[in-house]
Structure 1
Amino acid sequence: MEKKVYIIGSGFSSLAASCYLAKAGYEVTVLEKNATIGGRARQLLRDGFTFDIGPTWYWMPDVFEKFFADFGEKPSDYYELDRLDPAYEVYFGEQDSIVIPGTLDEIYEVFEKEEKGSSKHLKSFLKSAKYNYDVSINDLVYKPGVSPLELVTPVTIGNIFQFFSTIRHEVRKKIKSNKLIQILEFPVLFLGAKPSNTPAFYNFMNYADFGLGTWHPKGGMYKVIEAMTKLASDMGVVFQTNASVEEITVNDKGEAVGVVVNGKVMQSDVVLSGADYHHTETLLPKNLRQYSEGYWDKKVFAPSSLLFYVGFDKKLEKVCHHTLFFDTDFDVHAKTIYDAPSWPKEPLFYASFPSITDHSFAPKGKEAATFLIPLAPGIEDTPELREQYFNIIIERLEKLTQQSVKKHVLFKESFCVNDFIQEYNSYKGNAYGLANILTQTAFLRPNIKSKKVKNLFFTGQLTVPGPGVPPSLISGKIASDLILKTYKNETVI
């Protein structure tokens, strides 16, 4: 008979796992506490404007291609991709910015113009980055994190120094321009850690950036959620929204045998949680939780965020689809996230203006914008602080781009620490999960398979391989593979 699986949450990792399990013949039901599918990658629609609430960057297109190929499909069967050119722009001061083009040859020219000789160093750096990318994507990141031996391969042994050196050290060996250094260090922010704490091996993110390019799905990242949902539905996956899981039921044998949803007991053979890992364990009795509160408190978490979704009554100038504002000290801001949790006095911030590329995001003649300030998880979050920081970044935007902006705001909505907790049960309101530092890599991350409760598994950004959309897709595959391996001798139709 078919094995029944309940999946908690409907983010990228849950959707990926649901597809693989359904393909294998499992009876799969996805339980989403909110009203719409997508987890953190939901969508906001207001007054003719569209916003991706969560992820806005489409990097590592090959990972998406591999996912759909596993089902005989292609991304183009579901959504249309545009390679952004320029990929993004970085501001360092008033009318002082560097635009990153969409092709590698043009990027070399940009580097050479900023610092003579730097393109030679960049080529060498990216050669290493591509090698690490190939090793990582084709092998290491698909490991389930159950043993240290997963990392012991001829390749990793030969490159062991890259796990003990850092991105910061490698970037700064040859490149001297502070602007170029910041551009090369910025991609590891997607891993949720400081460049000074991130192993040099993760320079593969620079290849993802420059080598593979920055893409945009027409209609936004939510089109990817819709595509995965359709794929899953076509294979028989059932979706239940407004389905809040209140308890994971465990029998006397220590086996997860179902969940309690909105007060109703629902039986299953397997429970897979793509929800926040810490929260999921609170659905169990204390004696069945693998990790204590002390364990979680000591972990290095990726940042939370203060986000604003803003509709403007005019088109903005001197900005790109993706625009980064690095006109203040990154290290000072980083200390307020990782060392002394607090609100930054002079925050770096990121802005997405998707309506520059995709006219479906805003009515004609208007602009849709998402602003993001990285913050420490767990800090105070009040309406007053949100308003204060909105004014800070809008005034900075006006100053840096030499244009009037604030008086053209039609509306704004915000999302911050308290919302991450309320909407996603996120530990301390973190936005991206556990940081990918050496002591939180691979088998050192929380287990995909519970060691205390049989039939209970986890997926998503708090387990392997880590934060980000492509890693979440991979996490869903890893979790489903482990489930299938666990029950391979049991009959599934």
Structure 2
Amino acid sequence: MNKKITIIGSGFSALAASCYLAQSGYDVTIYEKNSTIGGRARQLKKEGFTFDIGPTWYWMPDVFERFFADFNKKPSDFYELIKLSPAYQVYFDKLDFVTIADNLDDIIVTFESIEKGSGKVLKQFMNEAQSNYNIAIKELVYRPGESPLELITLETAKKVNQFFSTISKDVRKRFKNKKLIQILEFPVLFLGAKPSDTPSFYSFMNFADFGLGTWHPKNGMYSVILAMESLAKALGVKIETNSNVEKIIVESGHAVGIEVNGKKIKSDIVLSGADYHHTETLLEEKDRQYSEKYWDNKTFAPSSLLFYVGFDKKIENVEHHSLFFDVDFDIHASDIYDDPKWPNEPLFYASFPSKTDENSAPEGKEAGIFLVPIAPGLNDTLTFRELYFDKIITRFEKLTNQKVKENIIFKESFCVNDFIKDYNSYKGNAYGMANTLLQTAFLRPKLKSKKVKNLYFTGQLTVPGPGVPPSLISGKLVSDLIEKYQK
């Protein structure tokens, strides 16, 4: 009889793991506490509008291709992928923005027009970034974080200095124009840390940005979740929604099942794709690997204040993705990482999926998603939410030179309290644990429990780290590890 695996949660990493494990012959059942699957990547539908609640950026298409190829499939078997042109734009002042094209040659021309000589410098920088990408994404991130030796290769030995410098230092050494610096520092924000705390080696994110481009799956990122669900079910995976896991059952040091909605379910192996800290609270204290002090001392990626807004007209002077860097980034970053508090003047991001995807909004209308990065664990109240919506929408009107407040049909918000309630997220973080030097690879929480046999973890708090592509990889890594230790 095939070994039975129960998986907690149905986000990208859990779904990926379920596919690999089912393909290997395990009897796999996913238990999801919410009424729909996808974890953070759920959707909101209202009055003919459709919003991705969670991730909205589709980067590193090669990682998605590699995942589906492992099952003799292609992304195009499940969803249509649209390359955004332009990729995005960055606002610095009223109608003062830089548009990032969908190809490196045009981006080099843009840089050169802003800072003489920077085009040639960018080309050199991108060659290094591509080299780092090939080492990181094709090799290093597909290692399970069990040993520091995983990081030591002939290629990484040549780049050892890049692990002890930072993106911020590297970029500022090469470029002088503040706009260009901010554009080049932006991609590492997906790793959940300040550019000044992120090793130079992570410039591979710049290749993901300028080299591989920004994409949009038709009907939103949820199309990827539906694709993975379809694949998982075809492989025999069973998915139970509205199934809140209340306890991991441990006997004689072995995980032997879970308790779901008061009912005990036996299992040979338990794998959690839920928040790592929360998962350990489902164990007795003696069976937990990491103390509250451990978690409290870690650098977490930001949380987010999100707004999903239906407009009764088309919005002008914006692209599908628009970033608003008209205020001091360093001050906002300090309010997230150094002295956590609600920022006085926050940077923010806006996405208008209906610019690309007619299914996102009724004809003649616009779907808008606004995101303000904030520190996890802040006091989240409706008063703060309203205050910050007014702040950013007022700036948005000024920067894009148009009135939109009177055109709002509705708005919904999502913040710290919702991340905790819906995802059991530690301190309401949105992206997991930051990828700083001391929180990379083998220095992250382990995929395999050191205390409880047959208990495993996957997702953004373990390896490789935050983001959708790393979550897909995490699912593969943990399934390989289960295969290794269950033989």
Deviation at 1:103, TM superposition (A): 1.2
C-alpha root-mean-square deviation of aligned residues, in Å? 0.4
Which amino acid counterpart does residue 223 of structure 2 have in structure 1? Answer: K
Q: Shift of residue 290 of structure 1? A: 0.2
Q: Are 1:281 and 2:290 an aligned pair?
A: no
The alpha-carbon deviation at position 347 of structure 1 amounts to: 0.3
Normalised to the residue count of structure 2, the TM-score between the two structures is 1.00
* Inter-partner Cα distance in structure 2 for 1:106 and 1:348: 26
Q: Structure 2: which amino acid aligns with 1:355?
A: S
Give the aligned partner of residue 401 of structure 2.
402
Question: 1:364-379 maps to which residues of 2 (within 5 A)?
Answer: 364-379=363-378
Residue by residue over 1:302-350, the C-alpha shift from the partner in whole angstroms, topping out at 9 and shown as x without a partner, is 0000000000000000000000000000000000100001000000000
Residues 175-232 of structure 1 deviation map (CA, whole Å, 9 limit, x = unaligned): 1110000000000000000000000000000000000000000000000000000000
Aligned positions of 1:434-445 closer than 5 A: 434-445=433-444
Letter in 2 for 1:77: D
Partner of 1:79: 79
Q: Distance in 2 between matches of 1:19 and 1:263?
A: 27
Instruction: Indicate the SS of the match to 2:174.
Output: coil
2: distance between equivalents of 1:201 and 1:419?
34
Where 1:350 maps in the other structure, the secondary structure is: strand
Q: Does 1:448 align with 2:447?
A: yes
Matches within 5 A, 1:8-407: 8-251=8-251, 253-407=252-406
User: Which residue identity lines up with residue 420 of structure 1 in the other structure?
Assistant: F
Secondary structure, aligned partner of 2:247? strand
Aligned-partner residue type, residue 221 of structure 2: M
The Cα of 1:158 is off from its aligned counterpart by 1.2
CA distance in 1, matches of 2:370, 2:484: 43
Structure 2 residue runs without a partner (length 5+): none
Task: Show the counterpart of 2:4.
Answer: 4
Q: Deviations over 1:147-173 (max 9, x none)?
A: 111111111111100000100011111
What TM-score does the superposition give when structure 1 sets the normalisation length?
Answer: 0.99
User: Displacement, 1:40?
Assistant: 0.2
Structure 1, unaligned stretches of length 5 or more? 489-493
Structure 1 residue identity aligned to 2:352: F
Aligned-residue sequence identity (percent) comes to 69
1:352 is displaced (CA, Å) by: 0.3
Output the CA distance in 1 between the equivalents of 2:181 and 2:272: 39
How many residues were matched structurally? 487
* Equivalent-residue separation in structure 2 for 1:173 and 1:430 (angstroms): 32
Cα distance, 1:12 vs structure 2? 0.2
Distance in 1 (CA, whole Å) between partners of 2:142 and 2:272 is 18
Aligned-partner Cα distance in 2 for 1:108–1:369: 30
Q: Does 1:462 align with 2:457?
A: no
Query: The residue matched to 1:41 in structure 2 has which SS?
Result: coil
AA paired with 1:67?
F
SS in 2 for 1:6: strand
* Whole-Å separation in 2 of the counterparts to 1:74 and 1:162: 34
Distance across 1 between alignment mates of 2:58 and 2:446: 27
CA distance in 2 between partners of 1:277 and 1:177 (Å):
41
* CA distance in 1: counterparts of 2:313 and 2:301, whole angstroms: 34
Larger mean CA deviation between 149-158 and 301-310 belongs to 149-158
Q: Return the offset for 1:104.
A: 1.1
